[in-house]
Structure 1
């Protein structure tokens, strides 16, 4: 069984693989800490509850803004602050699944700022995603249905008795729970819309009050019984009236959707494609997806048992799935600088410095076609659902932009808050024998790459890229001279130039572009 627990202690390679998939890239310290743990121990640590992050701050006031009345002329900058703030959380994350799962749900329950057009709504939406990220899926679906950003994005706020709007009722089934293979009918879509009548968002773009939320209006609700098709065992949701009718019928609807056998499988397939491999073979469907879905159902739709099974499985650590995923722009950008110790400053003591770094990184991900909190549509980013999957991150436009980012951080072109984004020297000093070019290449590629290089590739990196055709002792002598006199600018630059050329080449290799 592919879901059988992996029982051996994790090697450094396996620990790095787990952390690449579960976080936005490991640091050398993370890899060392997870090496030797069992998979179960490692996953338990990744699922440890995290504290609620401090909200983003306005650079001009140093204070929060998402809890204040809407500011029309601040909408643009506050949108950017929200997105950059999230990048800061990714960059500074401990070894935790939280941020990766928050991004997963922002793609699954997709909402975009461009349509919603109220930065406070999007902050509340992001807050909900992280609160529910590894909790109970039933509670999550109920909460996201009432979320003001979702109500506005999919027109739930316009869904009233006599004029039912089917948008959310359709996507709730097709994209959020059952999937496209559930056999439900167009009448089921219309009926679910009737169940959902009466909900609306509150506080939209309100310039006089800070509170945003949602409310149920009984007068707008369809109080008749709702009968579904055989796909849902001809379930009848009893019509209700009064203030509690909306939540009661919504709960009945979600219970019905979760009883459909395809719902658990659909969610497990999406998790599999996000964390393991886009290719769901018949064997994977039978021996991984179906058993994982049983775990989901048997745990009353708690997400932690599913994630524990997934990340603890023998299949997850199989070499065939390592390197199977092309890094998303967010993965590429954040993991590249995280590995070498770049962290975001504490915004409470330096909000301008915080945004200078995080906005640069956010802009890189946006330019590479992964705009946080702005997926293209309700389907999310195409790389997670369309034919070709992760390969869609690489196209004629983004390939050059990925390369430009790599060049910028490895050729000393970008220095933010007085610091390089990739300063490899502190890391190299921790290696066993950094003065030996062959040993250095082995250690660095072993830590940074998801798939091993051939000996010919390593020889090329050492002899042609790092040594530039010179004898091995040239690097050894230069390194030793630098270590003996680290304050000497000339000796430091000589080492940095060679290391930067090496990393610039390495980061452009296909083996680095995959996870």
Structure 2
């Protein structure tokens, strides 16, 4: 019996949905508004799913609001967008066309330079910067939604090549992350990075390229589970609709543009799945836009398929990987209906999901494994790791962000570079899903990173990022009380209950150094606070580091 089956046992006294057999359901909760208790436990669950970790400051902040207020604030970012990436690299050595127009420490996002060496260095800077955006994220769901869309509309940095296009692409996903899905699909279709990645710029009347036309239907809107579904003929017809679009790397706004002479102006006929729709061929400068609108209107007219597909994607990213009959009826169907009723606006659907009894159901808490980015990002954020100033010490900041990004890549989530157009397998591969993140290679690497950060840290150019165990403990409500310290620590770190016996044993082993009385810790802490000399600091620091290291190596630490 696994954890979910164990937790489910004995909890099914409620009335089941009549059309669902009891044996098919993991939980019977649905999209009804959650009206249960709102404690720090629920706050932490919400934050870990919507952000990269839950810091103590964020937990305390949202605990002072109602559940509705907390979700609304997360879904309505007010912080400005992150400042764009800067030149942290050597812009001369090895370059045929150095980017001397960009001053070190200033942004290159509007600088035209097609030199391969320069673009390679900009791509590296772009990836470092993105990791920095995660670590420095604002108090909203925006960065998590960016990862959701990055996985959904996957691109790879080397395949795109041009870092200016990559920044434009990510900026589009970030700014439109909580907007209209149909509009976002249209924007992505004409996005220069996507035009390069899926060969849209090579798609012409004389040589139609089916790559984007296929993924538009299979991966981006309809999915491949429907029966009936789009046909190969539909892929070919859609490819013809999309002919003529190109990307310009020689203009500092890095636009896409349409060339009518490269466009197939014949009529395009689709299958019975699309009601035998005929998209009338056009000519002239507006032909591309008009036919694209016709194509998207035709696809989104299959509103049941599109809405269910997206409801499942949102569910698996924010709630749980398995969708059984009960979840299908009680969550997916009403969530899909909300998408349709709100003309494809994402925010109303997310709001309903995150405020639902199903989201806060105990069976959905601690039921997901942290992705590598969630694991590495949360270690930096939750423990209050201090990074160099991104403005005055940009080279060191980028170097530190690069280290964290590389760590996550080493345990199989390379930011900016999912393994294929389908994204990371852990988000879609049946039946393992998130379990793919943990194996005999990646788990030791996760523990090595947490061990390093609570140990000697990572040093670069004489600067260090490290978990300051004592500084972190000072942020707790009553660090002199070992019981409150343990409880508040576990409340933040773990998403499934830890027994009192286990807590007491950890307290004794680490904080009390094998003794039985709580004052062995309280006295040590108070003596340090009263006289923070090196000897007193080392006593409490050694105990805390041992406790924190042990906690981060527990299997439960990998859950969220």
**Same fold (TM > 0.5):** yes
Separation in structure 1 between the aligned mates of residue 120 and residue 205 of structure 2, nearest angstrom: 36
Structure 1 residue 176 corresponds to structure 2 residue 220: yes
Separation in structure 2 between the aligned mates of residue 421 and residue 317 of structure 1, nearest angstrom: 33
Residue 69 of structure 1 corresponds to: 112
With the length of structure 2 as denominator, give the TM-score of the two structures: 0.88
Change (3 A) 1:75 1:468: farther
Measured after TM superposition, the shift of residue 482 of structure 1 is: 0.9
Change (3 A) 1:415 1:492: farther
Match 1:44 to one of 72, 75, 97? 72
Which residues of structure 2 form unaligned runs of 5+? 1-28, 90-103
Change (3 A) 1:343 1:315: farther
2:392 counterpart SS class: helix
Measured after TM superposition, the shift of residue 460 of structure 1 is: 2.7
Show CA shifts across 1:141-175 (max 9, x none).
00000011111111111111132111111100000
Residue 536 of structure 2 corresponds to: 491
2:246 counterpart SS class: strand
- Map residues 4-83 of structure 1 onto 2, 5 A cutoff: 4-8=32-36, 10-49=38-77, 50-59=79-88, 61-70=104-113, 71-83=115-127
- Map residues 379-418 of structure 1 onto 2, 5 A cutoff: 379-387=422-430, 388-415=432-459, 418=463
Match 2:403 to one of 360, 375, 389? 360
Measured after TM superposition, the shift of residue 345 of structure 1 is: 4.4
Measured after TM superposition, the shift of residue 418 of structure 1 is: 4.2
Separation in structure 2 between the aligned mates of residue 499 and residue 415 of structure 1, nearest angstrom: 21
Q: Contact 1:57–1:347 at 8 Å: present in 2 too?
A: no
Show CA shifts across 1:256-303 (max 9, x none).
211211111111101111111001111101110110010001100011
Match 2:134 to one of 90, 109, 112? 90
- Map residues 286-435 of structure 1 onto 2, 5 A cutoff: 286-387=329-430, 388-415=432-459, 418-435=463-480
User: For the aligned residues, what is the CA RMSD?
Assistant: 1.7
Residue 22 of structure 2 corresponds to: none
Q: Contact 1:146–1:199 at 8 Å: present in 2 too?
A: yes
Measured after TM superposition, the shift of residue 52 of structure 1 is: 2.5
Q: Contact 2:260–2:284 at 8 Å: present in 1 too?
A: yes
Residue 186 of structure 1 corresponds to: 232
1:347 counterpart SS class: coil
2:117 counterpart SS class: helix
Residue 486 of structure 2 corresponds to: 441
Measured after TM superposition, the shift of residue 462 of structure 1 is: 1.5
Residue 266 of structure 2 corresponds to: 224
Q: Contact 1:11–1:36 at 8 Å: present in 2 too?
A: no
Separation in structure 2 between the aligned mates of residue 140 and residue 256 of structure 1, nearest angstrom: 16
Show CA shifts across 1:160-214 (max 9, x none).
11321111111000000000023111111111111111111221xx5xx544221
Measured after TM superposition, the shift of residue 63 of structure 1 is: 1.3
Separation in structure 2 between the aligned mates of residue 390 and residue 419 of structure 1, nearest angstrom: 32
Measured after TM superposition, the shift of residue 362 of structure 1 is: 1.3
Q: Contact 1:92–1:344 at 8 Å: present in 2 too?
A: no
1:95 counterpart SS class: coil
Measured after TM superposition, the shift of residue 99 of structure 1 is: 0.3
Measured after TM superposition, the shift of residue 118 of structure 1 is: 1.6
Separation in structure 1 between the aligned mates of residue 499 and residue 507 of structure 2, nearest angstrom: 13
Separation in structure 1 between the aligned mates of residue 275 and residue 466 of structure 2, nearest angstrom: 57
Structure 1 residue 158 corresponds to structure 2 residue 198: no
Measured after TM superposition, the shift of residue 455 of structure 1 is: 2.1
Separation in structure 2 between the aligned mates of residue 211 and residue 302 of structure 1, nearest angstrom: 27
- Map residues 262-281 of structure 1 onto 2, 5 A cutoff: 262-281=305-324
Q: Contact 2:244–2:288 at 8 Å: present in 1 too?
A: yes
Structure 1 residue 475 corresponds to structure 2 residue 503: no
Change (3 A) 1:10 1:415: farther
Separation in structure 2 between the aligned mates of residue 397 and residue 477 of structure 1, nearest angstrom: 42
Measured after TM superposition, the shift of residue 476 of structure 1 is: 2.2
1:200 counterpart SS class: strand
Residue 511 of structure 1 corresponds to: 556
Separation in structure 1 between the aligned mates of residue 387 and residue 323 of structure 2, nearest angstrom: 37
Separation in structure 2 between the aligned mates of residue 104 and residue 11 of structure 1, nearest angstrom: 27
Change (3 A) 1:173 1:318: same
Separation in structure 1 between the aligned mates of residue 552 and residue 120 of structure 2, nearest angstrom: 33
Separation in structure 1 between the aligned mates of residue 386 and residue 330 of structure 2, nearest angstrom: 40
Q: Contact 1:10–1:34 at 8 Å: present in 2 too?
A: no
Match 1:256 to one of 272, 295, 298? 298
Show CA shifts across 1:474-500 (max 9, x none).
2222112111112x1121122111111
Measured after TM superposition, the shift of residue 123 of structure 1 is: 1.0
Choose 9-18 or 461-470, whichever is displaced more.
461-470
Show CA shifts across 1:42-78 (max 9, x none).
1110122342321111125111112212242233332
> How many residue pairs align between the two structures?
510
Show CA shifts across 1:87-145 (max 9, x none).
21111122101100001101000000121122112111111111111111111000000
